[in-house]
Amino acid sequence: MDNALKSVAIIMDGNGRWATHRNRPRIWGHVRGTANVRKIVNAALKQNIQILTLYTFSIENFSRPQNEKNNLFKLLHKYLIRESISLIENNIRFKIIGDYSFLPEKTIELICDLEQKSSQCTGLQLNFAFAYGAKQEICRCINSIRKDQKDDQITESDINDWLKQNSVAEVDLLIRTGGDVRISNFLLWQIAYAELYFSNTAWPDFTEKEFHSIIEEVNKKERRFGNIK
């Protein structure tokens, strides 16, 4: 299938509210949301997406109750155990962007192991944005470049090159589920010319069919990047 969209990012929102509306604890929504990741990753493979970046835990999420945060960290640990073999078998390269140094040592070992084992995979690049914030990322980027070129002016190209090596390159499409219409400090530099799509569907109910429909709809648009046809 010919697909003009190469890099897609998703803010997977609405898990807790989805559970609350069903009189279940919020963690139940996150469990169901985690299970939905595999379906959408498979959908991205079918759509010939090259890079899929999922917003799994933001810097701002640290303000949530400790119990909920602990449960989210455990869900990441379980995901890595459950999906690592499947990801490699499907030629998917896995990477976490963000600062996960605070996680338990065993979880960090799982992350490093999967990143290393999948590093030679040539199919879909799957990024988890975990403990991630775009403003903080841009600050790290600038400080890092300044160390290498103290007397030179930092250019747009410098920042693009750093992000390609350490994070995510330009994004073609950003999807947010759950009904809210905002970016929430996610890939602010990379989405400068991305198409934006806001779905009212909560993440646990977000289907391959809806994902496919969004891709089809956006592919029909003429992306001019400030030019004329």
Helices (H) and strands (E) in the chain, counts: 7, 6
Q: Is 70 an annotated catalytic residue?
A: no
Dihedral sign for Cα 163, 165, 171, 172, please.
Answer: positive
**Phi, psi (degrees; rounded to nearest 5) at 161:** -65, -40
- What length does the chain have? 229
Catalytic residue among 13, 15, 36, 172: 13
CA distance 113 to 91: 15
Given a contact cutoff of 8 angstroms between Cβ atoms, the answer to whether 130 and 96 are in contact is yes
Q: How far is CA 60 from CA 56, 131, 134, 160, 185, in A?
A: 12, 8, 11, 25, 9
Strand partners, 96: 128
Token couple for 36: 């939905």
Catalytic residue among 42, 61, 185, 219: 61
Q: Is 227 an annotated catalytic residue?
A: no
Q: How far is CA 13 from CA 145, 163, 199, in A?
A: 33, 24, 10
CB-CB neighbours of 147 under 10 Å? 7
Q: How far is CA 169 from CA 12, 48, 106, in A?
A: 20, 17, 29
**Catalytic residue numbers?**
13, 61
